[in-house]
A and B are shown apart, each in its own frame.
Chain A
């Protein structure tokens, strides 16, 4: 076991001739709140997609808590302990809010399909336990009142929260948040910051997030990596990175 939750070494991916991510190195310590920032098109979401097995990296290595997960399929990576949210929200829209979270608990419910069909005692026991667990998670995000609603009917901000709750339900070691504050107003963002802090502290979670909202980034991230055109532009403690002239130029232009 290492003290780093995630170690990314020289990660590269090309699409056709284009190097979307080129030689990224990143170390995230256990329990850290880490930010991945950069201008639009810098390759941030592509990094997430490689970390979660949506894309296979062209080269490089990804270690999760000492386990090599490079190029593994999404399902295996989730079971290894990474869960994520998506920039363009991907909820199970025609399922209830509660069932969205219970779907996240899928691999933690210990009854077989046959037991489910025959309604054996384990079905009732496990369903009850899952419902309780899911309601607890929903409470954290103040969604317990809407548990029976269809996910599609939630307002935007709550949909983002539900995605985090669903990801947490899989009981990950590392949580990846892709622009969690996108489309939220300042009040909602403030509230979200507190929630993220709370999640990190109470679930002892390591969190990596992509964000454009600088207030949120400077407010909660302890360390940052800045990507620009697929390459690492700067790395280090948040305040130092944000005051780096190179970073400021990249964001504001020459």
Chain B
């Protein structure tokens, strides 16, 4: 029974990773860049919800919506100001370092505005935990909502990418920017849209994550951001179902590793599994293997 409890905790944490990883994977697929600042958007989103709920007394759902809107704006602005000018730079490292700069910027701005003191985030979920098997198995409301939201987002995004015009434009741009441009697709707009969606998802992830793990600091987003990045690579970067599978697996491995092996080595276990997976399958679980044409 304790195993089932751990498994559900793992699924819940994994769902958060999956939602963040979706943002990573979409941005990578389309802009071919590792957006190192993605994790920090989670942190910004969580602060917005925190202050909206505590200082303004706004209801949790509305707070999340506000946070999503503000994070979307933030994501689009970052893309426009810091990343777009470097899209055609001669080295792909240029935009990577800039993303690191943006990450520092967000963290230090948060540090100045909100101080380094840990804020205790109050849960946005108002569902009572479910008790099963005479109370031996308790599933928290947060876990139920997190897993449900993750499934909804996953299905929604898959439909969006495959069924809508904007989604197909995204696929076209990720395949070949030049050709997409010639077909009359607004490449800049499509990339901006991708950042918008990714950032909105980050806000949702921030709300869910901080509801389960309520300590909020300016560095809250960093480690989950890195883990989600690992999840995206694990599943095959650029693939939406891959991000989902990668996120869930990383979450489960982390929680089970903490429970059964060593709480201090859990992160090392997650990273070791990643290395092993990449050794067996160099482009991740669902990644496509692209051969260079000679």
- Tell whether A49 is near chain B: CB-to-CB under 8 Å: yes
Q: How would you classify the secondary structure of chain B's contact residues: helix, strand, loop or mixed?
A: loop
A45, CB-defined interface residue at 8 Å: yes
In the bound complex, CA of A54 to CA of B292 (Å): 10
A229 at the binding interface (Cβ < 8 Å): no
Q: Does A92 contact B (CB under 8 A)?
A: no
Interface status of A86 (Cβ within 8 A of chain B): yes
Chain A interface extent, by class:
under 10
For the complex formed, measure the closest distance between the CB of A50 and the CB atoms of chain B, giving whole angstroms: 11
Closest A residue to B293 by CB, please name it.
A88
Taking the nearest CB of chain A, how far is it from the CB of B62, in angstroms?
54
Q: In this assembly, does B290 line the interface, its C-beta being within 8 Å of a C-beta of chain A?
A: no
Q: Select from chain B the residue with minimum beta-carbon distance to A87.
A: B294
Q: Which residues of A11-60 have CB atoms within 8 Å of chain B's CB atoms?
A: 45, 49, 54
Complex interface: chain A residues within 8 A of B294 (CB): 45, 49, 54, 86
CB distance from B68 to the nearest CB of A (A): 44
Chain A contacts with B in 66-96, Cβ cutoff 8 A:
86
CB within 8 Å of A: which B241-294 residues? 294
Taking CB atoms, residues of chain B closer than 8 Å to A86 are 294
Can you name the residue of chain B whose Cβ is closest to the Cβ of A86? B294
Min CB–CB distance B37 → chain A (angstroms): 30
Please give the number of chain B residues whose Cβ is less than 8 angstroms from any Cβ of chain A in the complex.
Answer: 1
Q: Tell me how far the C-beta of B94 lies from the nearest C-beta in chain A, rounded to whole angstroms.
A: 16
A144 CA to B294 CA, complexed, in Å: 29
In the assembly, what is the distance between CA of A49 and CA of B294, in Å? Answer: 8
Nearest neighbor of B292 in chain A, beta-carbon distance: A54
Distance in angstroms from B173 CB to nearest chain A CB is 24
Alpha-carbon gap, A45 to B294, bound state (A)? 8
CA distance A86 to B294 in the complex (A): 8
Compute how far the CA of A49 lies from the CA of B293 in the bound complex, rounded to whole angstroms: 10
Which residue of chain B has its CB nearest to the CB of A49? B294
* Closest Cβ–Cβ distance, residue B289 to chain A (whole Å): 13
The answer for the CA separation of A54 and B43 in the assembled complex, in Å, is 48
Taking CB atoms and an 8 Å cut-off, the chain B residues in 18-55 that contact chain A are none
> Within 8 Å CB of A49, what residues of B?
294
Chain B stretch 207-233: residues in CB contact (< 8 A) with chain A: none
Nearest-Cβ distance from residue B293 to partner chain A, whole angstroms: 8
A83-126 CB mask vs B (1 if < 8 Å, else 0) is: 00010000000000000000000000000000000000000000
Minimum CB–CB distance from A11 to chain B (whole Å) comes to: 17
Interface residues of B in 185-239 (CB under 8 A from A): none
CB distance from A48 to the nearest CB of B (A): 8
CA A72 to CA B216, docked complex, whole Å: 58
Shortest distance between the CB of B34 and any CB in chain A (Å): 23
Residues of chain B lying within 8 A (CB to CB) of residue A45: 294
Cα(A54)–Cα(B294), bound, Å: 8
* CB closest residue in chain B, given A52: B294
Contacts of A54 in B (CB 8 A): 294
Q: How far is the CA of A45 from the CA of B293 in the complex (A)?
A: 11
Shortest distance between the CB of B89 and any CB in chain A (Å)? 15
Residue in B closest to A178 when the chains form the complex, CB atoms: B294
- How far in angstroms is the closest Cβ of chain A from B294? 5
B292 to chain A, nearest CB (A): 9
CB distance from A156 to the nearest CB of B (A): 19
A103 to B103, CA, bound (A): 41
| Shortest CB distance A10–B (Å) | 23
Q: How far is the CB of B91 from chain A (nearest CB, A)?
A: 11
Smallest distance from the beta carbon of B113 to chain A beta carbons, Å?
44
Q: A228-250 toward B: CB 8 Å interface, digit per residue (1/0)?
A: 00000000000000000000000
B49-107 contacts to A, CB under 8 A, are none
Assembled-state Cα–Cα distance A210/B219 (Å): 59
A25 to B294, CA, bound (A): 23
**Chain B's nearest CB lies how many Å from the CB of A57?**
15
CB distance from A193 to the nearest CB of B (A): 26
Q: CA separation between A43 and B171, bound complex, in Å? A: 30
CB distance from A158 to the nearest CB of B (A): 22
Per CB-CB distance, the 4 closest pairs between chain A and chain B, nearest first, are A54-B294, A49-B294, A86-B294, A45-B294
Which A residues lie at the B interface, using CB under 8 A? 45, 49, 54, 86
Which residues of B approach A to under 8 Å, CB–CB?
A: 294
4 pairs of residues in contact across A and B, judged by CB atoms under 8 Å: A45-B294, A49-B294, A54-B294, A86-B294
